Amino acid sequence: MSTEPETTENTGPGTPDTDGRELAASGSEGARTPDADTDAAEPPGPADADGSDDGDDRDDGDDGEGGSSAGETEESGDGGADTAAGEGSDAGSAGGADGGAQLSEAAAELAAQRIERERIERRKAEKEARGPIEAGTKLSGPAADLLAAVRAVESGEKPAAAVFAEPEAETARRRPAAERTRPAPVPPPAAATAPAAPAGETVEAVGRVLAEGGAPQALAAAVATALGEGAADLLRADPWQLLRVPGVRPEQADGFARALLGAECGPADERRGRAFTVWLLEQAALAGHTALEAPALTSALAQRGVPDPDEALQSALAEGEALVFQDALDEPGAPAAPAPAPAPGEEDGGEDEEGEGRPVRILVGLERYALAEESLADGLARLVNSVPKEDGPGEDWERAAGAARGSAAELIRAVAGHALVLHTGGEASRAEAARLLREARALGLRAWAAAHSPLGRDAFAALLGGSSEGLGGHGGAERPGADGSADSGTDASAVATVAGLLSGAEGPGRDTDGAFDLDLLVVLDAPQLDVETAALVAESLPDGARLVLAGDPGVLWSAGPGRVFADLLAAGICPHIASRTPDPGPLGELVSGIGVGELTQVQAPGKEVVIVPVRDAGEAVHRTVQLVADSVPRAIGVPTAQTVVITVGHGGAAGTRALNAALKERLNPGPGRFGGFDPDDRVVYSPAPGRALPGQVVRADADGLHLSCSGESVVVPKDQVDGHVRHGWALTAHQAVGGRWPAAVVVLPGDAAQALSRPWVYTAFGRASRHLSVVHGVEQALPRAVAEVAARPRTTRLPVLLVPQTGGEEAAQAAQG
């Protein structure tokens, strides 16, 4: 596995790119992206277990260019990486918006973080009650025992089962998710306001400390935001806290610490080891992992010049900066922990020895993601083990299923008898989810659907039989049927975005207990759910409700940590209905073939698929502009406004920046008076990490940049424009996921070959509904990526957490039966 963030595309300004990139088995420095806006050097990770090549085989293959000359790929946090160059902004802050709906969607992210922080504070309060541990002293009690156990298992001195065996009741007691605290909705404010900036005196004090350490004073605001009110004192006491700022590299933090501490600074400094441990775990989260195996983490620490990696890990655990877990593994062929020989007179066998040969892995993770993953496991287990609400006679459900055909009927029957159902398929399979929603509402259920993006929401609303226009901008109470009743509004009104649903800006709202006021929720684009968002959704479902997670398993995974949908499919704890509805036409045939690893030549009599060969990146940009501005509108009949350009990353000679600059010059030339933007510019707005909203510039004034995003008015304050808004004629594949356009132009310059993988190609080609043009300069790298480069694995704990709570194989067999 790799601890480095995906240097593939990110989902928008200020958004971490999170499809991990593996490092070479040699453990060398990670492949570096040439563009200065990305991290200058990726954190070295442990060797790949499969010995795969560095950078080629990447999780999702998302727009990363590895070490290729394609330049900057999707940045890790865009705003985060740019912060180090003085360009960034707080990636986690939600952009200011005009109207309550937009701000509340971004505030949903903050609400989730607040809930997790409350849990973390409770855990830390317990630790503080036992008294602080002086720096440099040895651990005692459970912490020391746990570290000793980790070392014993890693060295093979003791069997894992004997070391880590603990009563099941104790395991259950440790689980914080059992608190069942429901996330409260964030009411939309009357007017959009910008996120609070750090106090001026705090920024000034931080600037002085940065100047003493030779760091750019332009980082002062970012440091103050990351470290809080006492940032200056904290930074002076522990200079390596500078690593908390997105985009700052370990070598930069080391230089800052040397300048501040002088002779006191050394590689064995305990503060340095702790900071590096947390930084590596944060980089792993950006790469999609929710935890790292302990040997991988200590190896990465050693590669970063930490003299005693075990001691650094021990210190981080003692200070509550990270958590350690041991998970039993049941994979066939996994190395089992050594079992001791039976003592004389004892029989070989028995209940005690049955579990001693079970393989385990020792994981270390940040508490934020550990709590989210455990919360999600508890919420899903509650669904799996619950009986759906008595919401209609069985014969009514069967009659509804009988009226449908094929996999649509199977889906209805599965939902009738189970509280959690998985539904997989391509774009055409959405018709089956729409059929389920209509039938459920006809039976009187309060049934809702939630999509990843506004584009997906609007498309599904149209599929349900009603235009998404005229629904109050999809904003909360303005929408027909927002009260959640089955007979209010049209079927099309029962569609929201996931962010809007969580914030309360869209959807049915919440009941007095804080749960969603609904009986059935169909989550579309389920592969885009990260563990934190999925945990919020699961915790928000009322008892007796049904949840359907629907999506295409072939697309890129979520921008945030985890692989929730893939983990659930692998766990097999609930019914899984695979759609048998094929995507139609030449485009459907092409994308379906890519999904199984075959890049086939399809017959396209209507010019549904066109290949445009190019020799270099400059020609790729020229031909792309020609296609968007002239060829596609003239030959295909799709206007420029309905055409999207998709490329492998933001930087490089044919990245989104270069393409958008060329497209703006041709399609909407102007001086860019407001932060480089003019009225009618196409843009993509990222109000929070992991979210990208395509839109258009309306105007600019003293309040900020006014955008129209899927019919919603958004105002981005002037000081946030650079960190949250990009031009949007050309997008990355992760920015485009969840939406479709009549025409798509996919740009593959020759220096992007290392970025390609099957999930990336599948996602990019699948964004076109009528016409696909491929600007092709990678020659045989494209079919090779489709055939050989699958999604990179992510380290997660969800399957291990789910199986004990849901009955394991017995539950899976019952679900499928």
For residue 26 the two structure tokens come to: 């040699």
CB 72 within 8 A of CB 35: yes
Residue 7 reports pLDDT greater than 90: no
Say whether both 228 and 142 belong to one domain: yes
* Choice among 19-23, 528-532, 610-614, 710-714 with the minimum mean pLDDT: 19-23
SS3 content of the chain, % helix, strand, coil (to 5): 45, 15, 45
Higher pLDDT among residues 530 and 487, named by residue: 530
Q: What are phi and psi of 247, to 5 degrees?
A: 95, -15
Assigned domain for 591 exists: no
- Asked if the structure places residue 755 within a domain, the reply is no
Arithmetic mean of pLDDT over the chain: 78
Answer yes or no: is 483 within a domain: yes
Closest CA to 391 of 434, 441, 464: 441
204-238 exposure pattern, b = at least 16 Cβ within 10 A, e = fewer: ebbbebbeebebebebbbbbbbbbeeebbebbbeb
Best CA proximity match to 415, nearest among 574, 180, 202? 574
Q: What is the mean pLDDT of residues 647-654?
A: 93
Q: At what angle do helices 250-261 and 270-286 cross, to 10 degrees?
A: 160
Three-state DSSP state, 774:
strand
Whether residues 163 and 232 share a domain: the answer is: yes
Residue 815 domain-assigned (yes or no) = no
Which comes out higher in pLDDT, residue 45 or 661?
661
Please say which residue of 549, 583, 617 terminates a domain.
583
Of residues 258 and 17, which shows the higher confidence score? 258
Cβ atoms of 305 and 68 within 8 Å: the answer is no
Whether residue 30 lies inside any domain: the answer is no
Co-location of 356 and 425 in the same domain: no
Q: Give residue 434's pLDDT.
A: 96
Domain count, the chain: 2
Quote the tokens at residue 241. 């806290």
pLDDT band at 520 (very low <50, low <70, confident <90, very high): very high
Q: Dihedral (C-alpha) 595, 18, 560, 495: value to the nearest 10 degrees? A: -50
For 187-237, the DSSP string reads PPPSS--PPPPPPHHHHHHHHHHHHHTT--GGGHHHHHHHH-TTHHHHHHH
Token readout for 308 is 């005693």
Confirm whether 126 is domain-assigned: yes
* Burial class of residue 499, CB neighbours in 10 A (0-12, 13-18, 19+): buried
Amino acid at 144: A
- In the sheet that holds 576-578, the strands lie side by side as 495-497, 447-451, 520-523, 546-551, 420-424, 576-578
Tell me what pLDDT residue 31 has. Answer: 35
Tokens of 727: 């031009």
- pLDDT one-digit tens code per residue, 221-278: 899 989 988 999 999 999 999 999 988 999 999 999 999 999 999 999 999 999 999 9
Domain extent, residue 285, equals 117-245+248-365
What DSSP line would sit under 632-696, residue for residue?
IIIII---GGGEEEEES-SSSTTSHHHHHHHHHHHHS----TBTTB-TT-EEEE-SSTT--EEEE
Q: Name residues whose C-beta falls within 8 Å of residue 290's C-beta, 6 or more positions apart in sequence.
A: 365, 369, 370, 372, 373, 531, 561, 562, 794, 795, 796, 797, 798
Answer whether residue 510 is part of any domain. Answer: yes
Task: Say if residue 221 is in the same domain as residue 361.
Answer: yes
Contact 514, 533 (CB under 8 A): no
> Token pair 């002779």 is at which residue?
263
**Are residues 202 and 123 located together in one domain of the fold?**
yes
Which residue, 764, 418, 794, 366, is CA-closest to 591? Answer: 764
> Are 416 and 475 in the same domain?
yes
Region 476-502: mean pLDDT is 62
Looking at 583, 613, 631, the residue that finishes a domain is: 583
pLDDT band at 804 (very low <50, low <70, confident <90, very high): confident
361, 491: one domain: no
- Residue 357: the pLDDT is 60
> Rounded to an integer, what distance in angstroms lies between the CA atom of residue 789 and that of residue 672?
40
Burial class (CB in 10 A: 0-12, 13-18, 19+), 631: middle
Q: Does one domain contain both 542 and 426?
A: yes
Length of the chain: 817
Query: Binning pLDDT at 50, 70 and 90, where does residue 401 land?
Result: very high
pTM for this predicted structure: 0.76
Of 556, 583, 610, at which residue does a domain stop? 583
Q: Which residue has the higher pLDDT, 80 or 319?
A: 319
Model pLDDT for residues 141-200, shown as the tens digit of each residue: 555 555 566 565 555 555 544 444 444 434 433 444 344 455 555 444 333 334 556 788
User: Is 713 among the domain residues?
Assistant: no
Task: Please give the DSSP secondary-structure letter assigned to residue 16.
Answer: B
Task: Give the CATH number of the domain where residue 550 resides.
Answer: 3.40.50.300
On whether both 283 and 402 belong to a single domain, the answer is: no
415 φ, ψ to 5°? Answer: -70, -30
Q: Which of 157-166, 185-194, 514-523, 740-749 has the lowest mean pLDDT?
A: 185-194
Condensed to tens digits (0 to 9), the pLDDT of residues 759-790 reads 999 999 999 999 999 999 999 999 999 999 99
What whole-number distance in Å separates Cα of residue 815 and Cα of residue 743?
40
Question: Cα(132)–Cα(319) distance, rounded to whole angstroms?
Answer: 8
Q: Give the residue-averaged pLDDT of 329-347.
A: 47
Q: If you average pLDDT over each of 18-22, 130-134, 370-374, which comes out highest?
A: 370-374
Under DSSP, the state recorded for 29 is P
Phi, psi of 323 (to 5 degrees): -120, 150
Q: Give the pLDDT score at 95.
A: 39
> What is the C-alpha separation between 666 and 671, in angstroms, rounded?
13
In angstroms, the CA 44 to CA 23 distance is 7
Does one domain contain both 405 and 466? yes
Beta strands 495-497; 609-613: pairing state:
unpaired
Q: Under 8 Å CB-to-CB from 175, ≥6 apart: which residues?
A: 374, 378
Look up residue 654 and give its two tokens. Answer: 């044919």
- Position 679 pLDDT exceeds 50: yes
Same domain, 347 and 392: no
Tell me if 780 sits within 8 A of 806, measured CB to CB.
Answer: no
Of all residues in the chain, the percent with pLDDT exceeding 70 is 67
How far apart CA 142 and CA 318 sit, in angstroms, is 10
- Residue 171, C-beta contacts closer than 8 angstroms, at least 6 positions apart: none
Closest by Cα among 173, 22, 60 to 562: 60
Per residue in 346-370, pLDDT tens? 454 444 444 456 688 999 999 999 9
Note the pLDDT of residue 495: 96
pLDDT score of 351: 43
Instruction: Tell me phi and psi for residue 608, to 5 degrees.
Output: -65, -30
Q: What is the pLDDT of residues 60-69, one digit of tens each?
A: 334 433 333 3
Band (pLDDT 50/70/90 cuts) for residue 394 is: confident
- Per-residue model confidence (pLDDT) at position 198: 77
For residues 736 and 764, is the Cβ–Cβ distance under 8 A? yes
Same domain, 455 and 348: no
Per residue in 537-561, pLDDT (tens digit) is 999 999 999 999 999 999 999 999 9
Q: pLDDT above 90 covers what percent of the chain?
A: 59
Read off the pLDDT of residues 583-600 as tens digits, 9 standing for 90 and up. Answer: 999 999 999 999 999 999
